[in-house]
Amino acid sequence: MRFIIEAWRKKSPWLIFFVPVSYIYRILILINRKVSSVKKRPERFKVPVIVIGNITVGGAGKTPLTISIATELAALGYKPGIVSRGYGGHPPHYPFCVDSNKNSSVVGDEPLLIAQRTQLPVVIDPNRHAAVEFILNEFDVDIILSDDGMQHYNMYRDIEICVLDGNETISNGHCFPAGPLREPLKRLNEVDFIVLNGSKSTVALKNLSVLSFEMKMIPKSFVNLSTNEVRPFGGAPFNIGNRIQAVTAIANPNRFFEIIECLPYPLNKIDYPDHYEFTASDFDPEKIEMHQPVVMTEKDAVKCKSFATNNFWMLTTNIELDDSFVDLLVSKIDSCKQDIART
Look up the CATH number of the domain holding residue 195. Answer: 3.40.50.300
Residues 142 and 279 in one domain: no
Tell me whether residue 20 is in a domain: no
Question: Is the C-alpha dihedral spanning 58, 70, 295, 103 positive or negative?
Answer: negative
Domain shared by 292 and 280, yes or no: yes
Indicate whether 4 belongs to any domain.
Answer: no
Mean pLDDT of the chain: 91
Q: How confident is the model at residue 6 (pLDDT cuts 50, 70, 90)?
A: confident
Residue range(s) defining the domain that contains residue 82: 37-215+321-342
Same domain, 338 and 259: no
pLDDT at 251: 85
The answer to whether the beta carbons of residues 146 and 157 sit under 8 Å apart is yes
Based on the domain organization, do 67 and 131 belong to the same domain? Answer: yes
Are 156 and 297 in the same domain? no
Domain co-membership, 313 together with 329: no
Residue 311 domain-assigned? Answer: yes
Q: Is residue 29 part of a domain?
A: no
**Reported confidence tier of residue 286, pLDDT bands at 50, 70, 90:** confident
User: What per-residue confidence (pLDDT) applies to 323?
Assistant: 85
Distance, in Å, from the CA atom of 339 to the CA atom of 332, rounded to the nearest integer, reads 11
At 99-145, the pLDDT tens digits run 988 889 999 999 999 999 999 999 999 999 999 999 999 999 999 99
